[in-house]
Structure 1
């Protein structure tokens, strides 16, 4: 009699043990804006009706409903608004033990832990992690100030990359491969989609023929963007803008000197002519006085 009473409980334990739910152990990585499948499969050895299958997907932390399915249909009355029109199951695969969820147009806000619940004759659940990634644009490098640079000047090199996720790692190096990352300031700003703009500023004292490189690495995708700049001694000692300004000043000075020489030459010529005229007038006056002195007086 006792064995008959324990039999239903033993059968229930056996069925529960046979119900095995499998999800990825490693986080699932999805590209921002793309579609992703969150795999969840179950192993039910005993026969079951298709209508007996119930599937519930929800956020692990907040318990918000992501997708629900029972009685052979999607049940989305309680679905969180953020997932509206973006989720689906594979109904034809349910009979083969596939309760995976398809999530469309992935957003940064979708990142987190998801729990898959499956009930056939018994109930089981498992959680998996979703991580979102987005590649950064190629970094841009700017220099401040851009001109009138000389060896020994302190300048700021700015490296900017846009539209990535998660936060990128920035590495600065000089031409010899020496790491300069300790001398930087870093700013990370998210846009309305949650994607980051990473701005890194390196302050250095310039040396002739200096090379600086900025490398930005997306830790989740393993991708990296690279940009470098070489500032030559010529550019530092004599920037192109300063060269043309100097040439212009030199031309102006030369014209001024030529004009001044012409004026001086004219003045000297006039002074010489005036001195010659004065000399001639003095000579004529002296001759007249001499003639007057030699004329005899009448008695």
Structure 2
């Protein structure tokens, strides 16, 4: 019978004079927690609860979320997904409070809800429920993990689990440069509708490089952060470059030894020549002295 009354009640909403108020901003509820869907109404005089009707409906499909009529809950037509999860506040009804408590919120609960109230008049208003779940701390992995060389193309993967809704991802290098243009991001939902988010960055490896992944949940405004640093000792030289380096080192060493030998020989020759010149000068000086003495004697 409730399913027959609802269309008729909704059809006369245009005649409603009762003011029904709900939050203008979306209601954000954490996955697995309780959500309060606030709804209040104004009435002009005293009324009997037995003559009051409250209907909470899914705005798009008009499926029943919770119904109150004739002084008690009427849950025969309630959608199965809301069974044992909804409740009003009976002591608050006479005060104009038609709020609905929705327990153990799941991703499938997300959507628009209409609060319909009838006392002497009719009124309704709709609000939006959004569901959020924090992601696990991101983890960054590097592929391949070994035998890396400067200039290699590597894939860095950032993963986080059990979050909702889709998060935004930003990659940066150690200099703060935004690398987000080079990423591929995918989402996989589990049976609860929560996401496993995988973001892959393709980069050309540089020695001693740091790559960071930042995750931002748009509803919760929280961030997850993770990074990986590839240090120099983990980067091996290419075989060809290694042999070239060794060959150049050997050649340089041979060149230095040969240069030292030449310099030593040149120095030795210079020293011998200087000694000969000194000896010749001494002999010449002695001969001149002898000649001078002979002249004096004569």
TM-score range, shorter chain: 0.7 to 0.9
Gaps of 5+ in 2: 1-14, 238-298
**Partners in 1 of 2:52 and 2:223 — Cα distance?**
45
* 1:36-74 CA-partner distances (Å, limit 9, x unpaired): 110000011212112221100000000000000011100
Question: Match of 1:143?
Answer: 142
Secondary structure at the counterpart of residue 215 of structure 2: strand
Residue 82 of structure 1 is matched in structure 2 by 81
Residue of structure 2 in register with 1:42 after alignment: 41
Instruction: Provide the TM-score with structure 1 as the length reference.
Output: 0.73
- SS at 1:149 equivalent: coil
Match of 2:154 in 1: 155
Number of equivalent positions: 223
State the distance in 2 between where 1:142 and 1:229 align: 7
The C-alpha deviation readout for 1:225-275, integer Å capped at 9, x for no partner, is: 00011111121137xxxxxxxxxxxxxxxxxxxxxxxxxxxxxxxxxxxxx
SS across alignment from 2:81:
helix
Task: Confirm or deny that 1:95 pairs with 2:94.
Answer: yes
2:211 match: 212
Determine the structure 2 residue equivalent to 1:195. Answer: 194
The aligned residue for residue 12 of structure 2 is none
Q: Distance in 1 between matches of 2:177 and 2:80?
A: 50
Q: Deviations 1:98-133 (Å, cap 9, x if unpaired)?
A: 000000000100000000000000110000000000
1:179 is aligned to 2:194 = no
1:118 and 2:107 are equivalent in the alignment: no
The whole-number CA distance in structure 2 between the counterparts of 1:130 and 1:170 is 24
CA deviations on 1:179-213 (whole Å, 9 max, x unpaired) are: 00110111111001000000001111111110100
Counterpart in the other structure of 1:292: none
Give the gaps of 5 or more residues in structure 1.
Answer: 1-14, 239-299
The whole-number CA distance in structure 2 between the counterparts of 1:16 and 1:152 is 71
What CA distance in whole angstroms lies between the structure 2 residues aligned with 1:41 and 1:69? 15
Question: What is the rounded CA distance, in whole Å, between the counterparts of 1:72 and 1:129 in structure 2?
Answer: 27
Query: Whole-Å Cα distance in 2 between the matches of residues 92 and 70 of structure 1?
Result: 15
Shift of 1:16: 5.2
Partners of 1:47 and 1:88 in 2: how far apart?
24
Q: 180-189 or 228-237, which moves further after superposition? A: 228-237
SS at match of 1:48: coil
Give the secondary structure class of the aligned counterpart of 2:91.
helix
Residue 150 of structure 1: CA displacement?
A: 1.3
Query: SS at 1:135's partner residue?
Result: coil
